Amino acid sequence: MGYFDAASAAPLHPVARQALLASLDEGWADPARLYREGRRARLLLDAAREAAAEAVGCRADELVFTPSGTRAVHSGVAGALAGRRRVGRHLIVSAVEHSSVLHAAEELERDGGTVTQVPVDRAGTVDADAFAAAFGDGTALACLQSANHEVGTEQPVARVAEACRAAGVPLLVDAAQSLGWGKVQGDWSLLTASAHKWGGPSGVGLLVVRKGVRFAPQGAADERESGRAPGFENLPAIVAAAASLRAVRAEAAQEAARLRELTERIRARVPGLVPDVEVVGDAVRRLPGIVTFSCLYVDGETLLHELDRAGFSVSSGSSCTSSTLMPSHVLKAMGVLTEGNVRVSLPPGTPAEDVERFLEVLPGAVAAVRERLGAPAAAESAPRTGADLVVDAVGRRCPIPVIELAKVIGDVPVGGTVRVLSDDEAARLDIPAWCEMRGQEYVGEERAERGTAYLVRRIK
């Protein structure tokens, strides 16, 4: 079986398993107590904190353990905003942040604050100058991920951190995806991470607040973890998280080179194996194990089921796999194709043979889904007859509106237009992306009696 969804949760590292089992016997007592069992537990907690701090590149007293990476983000954002409430209530985030950051931003807006989302380019990269331009007199905090969780693009954290420092604004870095591969560069102020992303157990997050950063923990007061993470520590899981972080770091350089070669293989070969595919994300500045591509005329959920039956576990940002029928906010912000989206994220140790087998299986899986949906063949072209056309795809979901557009574009003369009527949010992204891939002109959108009309002009 090929488990290719390490960006969601990496398999438990053998060192994490060993440390977890060992600390179940040694670390069950309350580390705040002074008797021998408590002192033993405290020694384990202190050692785990020292190991994690060394991996992050911070002081041990700057790092606390939280019940999850999401809790670390929410506590970090809320505490930093509260600590700087006299400055203002303006928060800056990138448009491709993890949902935990965006949810924290939404909470600020509901409470009367303001949020600026800095856009990204088609590779998913934030422009550091655009980020700096978003600063204002009331900016209390900025948030930027070290690398994107869906497409693997690395962000210019060091440059943004320099701009933040010059403006006197603390920068919170979500390092969940990258921390297992190395320290986050730059003069950041706060950092969060999640153990299950690097092969530690779930239920352990890290929150780092540098000395000198104004920070006011929110919620009921608690004496544990410097008041920043209330509740009894899950000590066995914390010990396992720190031990596995140290272990994956020791293997990181060699494994990163190996996984980069495997993902380069996927990036290079998928467009040749599968027609009408867009590989997304930065081709160079990206994490070692993540590669993402989108397939025209494909229902994402059906494709994931096809791959699952073939023995491969992958994830998707396609609206076709979402209960809300909304495309991934990351793909949306990038302006790339969302339908038939596949994220392959290889865990350390992935055999090259599994990648080769995936490349053998993928073309048949995509072809089977397209055939079921009645998608046009790659080279299909209808005669140039007729005038402007209207395609009524209201009530039909991704990828049907694009499939119907592709079927009729050849029925209009060069210079003619096709109006696609759709009420599916994904069409707003996928029709322009189809035009770019097919060399046609996307004219724009108009309101219609039912849904929205998307106008496409045939230019070849």
User: Which positions are annotated as active-site residues?
Assistant: 320
Strands of the sheet with 452-457, listed across from one edge? 389-392, 417-422, 452-457, 441-447
Q: Looking up tokens 């696609």, which residue turns up?
A: 420
**Amino acid symbol at 166:** A
CB 383 within 8 A of CB 355: no
CB atoms within 10 A of CB 64: 23
Token pair belonging to 69: 């990476």
Q: What is the DSSP letter of 62?
A: G
CB 320 within 8 A of CB 339: yes
CB 135 within 8 A of CB 167: yes
Burial of residue 234, with CB atoms counted within 10 A of its CB: 0-12 exposed, 13-18 middle, 19 or more buried: middle
3-state secondary structure at position 55 = helix
In the Cβ-directed half-sphere of 347, how many Cα atoms lie within 13 Å?
21
Burial 384-423 (b: 16+ CB within 10 A, else e): eeeeebebebbebbbbbbbbbbbbbbbbbeeebbbbbbbe
DSSP bridge pairs for 422: 452
Token pair belonging to 428: 């707003």
Burial 74-85 (b: 16+ CB within 10 A, else e): bbbbbbbbebbe
Dist. CA 457–CA 460, nearest whole Å:
9
Burial 307-328 (b: 16+ CB within 10 A, else e): beebebebbbbbbbbbeeeebb
Question: What's the start-to-end Cα distance of the chain, in Å?
Answer: 44
**Amino acid symbol at 153:** T
Residue among 158, 414, 356, 162 at smallest CA distance from 178 = 158
Question: DSSP for 213-261?
Answer: ------SS--SGGGGTS-S---HHHHHHHHHHHHHHHHHHHHHHHHHHH
Token pair belonging to 198: 């690097």
3-state secondary structure at position 343 = strand
